[in-house]
Amino acid sequence: MNAEGKKGAKQSAHFVCTSCHNVERDEPNLSQVDPVAKLAYVVEKRLPFVQGSALYGAVNRTHFYNGDYEKNMVIW
């Protein structure tokens, strides 16, 4: 959904958000960044080990990127 609450265009012809981000919690301790602990946690929870931070807890966001994503990936 876009800022007006309407369905927007695809962000990319190649990727969707979940190509790089989990939508479930994927860290055992959200106050620490520890890839080894993250790997053990996602293996135990049977989640994919992806490079992006989880979208878990992200709500009511209107801005995610610094402009580089739009410049390189967005098809308007």
Residue 39: per-residue pLDDT: 95
Encode pLDDT of 20-35 as tens digits.
Answer: 889 999 999 988 889 9
Quote the CA–CA distance of 34 and 29 in Å, as a whole number. 9
* Both structure tokens of 29: 């301790």
The alpha-helical segments, DSSP class H, found in the chain are 35-45, 68-72
| 1-58 pLDDT per residue, tens | 666 777 777 777 788 888 888 999 999 998 888 999 999 999 999 999 998 888 887 7
Q: How distant, in Å, are the alpha carbons of 43, 44, 71 from that of 62?
A: 31, 32, 17
